[in-house]
Amino acid sequence: MTSSGIRSITKILIANRGEIALRVMRSAREMGIATVAVFSEADRNAPFVRYADEAVLIGPPPSSQSYLVFDKIIGAAKSTGAQAIHPGYGFLSENAAFARRVKEEGLILIGPSPESMEIMGSKLAAKDAVKKYDIPLVPGTDYAITDIEKAKVIAAEVGFPILIKASAGGGGKGMRIVEDASQFEEMMKLAVSEATSAFGDGSVFIERYVGSPRHIEVQVMGDMHGNIVHLFERECSVQRRHQKVIEEAPSSVLTPELRKQMGACAVQVAKSCNYIGAGTVEFLMDEKLNFYFLEMNTRLQVEHPVTEMITGKDLVKEQIRVAMGHPLSFSQDDLTINGHSVEVRVYAEDPANNFLPDIGKLTTYVPPKGPGVRVDDGFEEGMDIPIYYDPMIAKLVTHGATREEAIARMLRAIDDYRITGVTTTLPFCSFVLKHPAFVSGKFDTHFVKSYFTPEVLNNSSEDEEVIAALTAALVSSSGKSVHNVDDQPATRSSWKANRL
């Protein structure tokens, strides 16, 4: 640390892989900062390894022997002379023990303090921390429940159905819905034993179950000088088994007034744990547009690009600047929403087969291009999708002047995407984007359960009738060639699935 409080960072090690490693390196490079990749044996030929200025092999494919091993990451930073580590998302990104170790080694973690991670890693500690502010919470307990008889009394006051949640949980793990008092004891025992084995912490609490919520999250950024701002919200209600399918910014349901209120709440949540860097404050919103603080994610999120598209800010550059000790480069008043952005996650999964990972070689891989299209990917044509990690191939992001334009652009981009060799979720994404409930903005976290069955992607006989009708109409009206209707590879983001 210099007398000005600015710490120099000239080389960053990226403790991650795939698209997010590349995405972080691109911003570092634009700032004139050198990059170090760490990679497992499964990632030898990955683009992020070639893109980095230096790369260090850190072990066998399983992340427990490579990307998650503190000593290997720290050792690689020291041997290459990197002053800072960017953890990306997943892996070590929210690991307070790792954050503490990085600090002890005299290195900089590009992220919040270990203490912030610890507070927000515990749902109960988070509720406790925000108590000093006026933050709306779902009615329930803000302490661990142990006495079943007492808990039943509280449950009756809160009102059934209720939800039992694990304090150490997150992303839906260890949650139990209880419909009425008769199920309470059984569900509570299940929740406690599940939480104990999954997190080593059996603390559970209860909340009123919000039946048809939307998931709305607010991006925040803090610096070391006490400044905290929000960069508006992302709507992530379209999820499948707690995995986000489509994210957009801004949300189509927020009024400017609600946006301001939620933004202010998110800033206070961040203040409650002296937050530094990029973070996300998650809210549930009910049908009456009441919102409730749920949890805070202390990392850069997968879906951060939609926020970058509407604000024009590079969140990774800002993370790096803040980690050096610089004040935020913008104030709340500098931030405005420009247009609308949508992101879909492209997975190597088979929507027709219960979204089972479909591993294999990307025989054809041609991402879409053109105005308002951003592709954050980590693969190239000819590469195998490794079985060891998350099967996300890419994030496809579009921006438009309006929500309608961003959606139309996304449908165009999905149609332009050429992937063969593996089955992808692209047709499933098209189905969602064209669904009247999505188009109208009237949806909640039950969207996929409510509207999706594999059959909607498999209506080829009907489609053939539609093609026949279209072909007949086109040929008779203009005589124009219609050859391009059916000469695409069969596994292309099938237009068949896109009809609705």
CB-wise, 281 or 426, nearer to ligand MV4? 281
Residue 70 is encoded by which pair of tokens? 């503190």
Decide if 72 contacts 59 (C-beta within 8 A): yes
The answer to whether 269 contacts ligand MV4 (rule: CB under 6 A) is no
Number of residues written out for the chain: 500
CB-wise, 37 or 206, nearer to ligand MV4? 206
Q: How far apart, in whole angstroms, are the C-alpha atoms of residue 244 and residue 254? A: 20
| 469 phi, psi to nearest 5 deg | -65, -45
Which of 76, 110, 135, 163 binds ligand MV4 (CB under 6 A)? It is 163
The answer to whether 291 contacts ligand MV4 (rule: CB under 6 A) is no
CB-wise, 84 or 266, nearer to ligand MV4? 266
CB-wise, 131 or 242, nearer to ligand MV4? 242
Q: Is 299 a catalytic residue?
A: yes
Chain-centre distance for alpha carbon 352: 23
Kindly name the residue from 208, 240, 299, 321 that is annotated as catalytic.
Answer: 299
Which of 172, 312, 327, 436 binds ligand MV4 (CB under 6 A)? It is 172
Q: How far apart, in whole angstroms, are the C-alpha atoms of residue 492 and residue 420? A: 7
Dihedral of CA 127/132/135/136: which sign?
Answer: positive
Residue 314 is encoded by which pair of tokens? 């590079």
Identify which range of 106-114, 208-216, 218-226, 465-473 contacts ligand MV4 by CB under 6 A. Answer: 208-216
Identify which range of 92-100, 128-136, 209-217, 482-490 contacts ligand MV4 by CB under 6 A. Answer: 209-217
Question: What is each CA distance from 381 to 157, 364, 366, 385, 416, in whole angstroms?
Answer: 58, 6, 7, 11, 15
Identify which range of 12-20, 201-209, 350-358, 410-418 contacts ligand MV4 by CB under 6 A. Answer: 201-209
Which of 229, 254, 284, 362 binds ligand MV4 (CB under 6 A)? It is 284
Q: How many residues of this chain bind ligand MV4 (CB under 6 A)?
A: 17
Sequence-distant (≥ 6) Cβ neighbours of residue 381 within 8 angstroms = 362, 363, 364, 365, 366
∠306-307-309 over CA atoms, to 5°? 65
Type and span of the H or E element at 277: strand 277-285
The answer to whether 174 contacts ligand MV4 (rule: CB under 6 A) is no
With 0-12 CB in 10 A as exposed, 13-18 as middle and 19+ as buried, what is 266?
buried
Name the minimum Å distance from CB 122 to ligand MV4: 14
Q: Which residues pair with 444 in a beta bridge?
A: none
The answer to whether 445 contacts ligand MV4 (rule: CB under 6 A) is yes
The answer to whether 209 contacts ligand MV4 (rule: CB under 6 A) is yes
CB-wise, 67 or 447, nearer to ligand MV4? 447
Which spans of this chain sit near ligand MV4 (rule: CB under 6 A)? 138, 163, 171-172, 207-210, 213, 215, 239, 242, 282, 284, 294-295, 445
Catalytic residues: 299
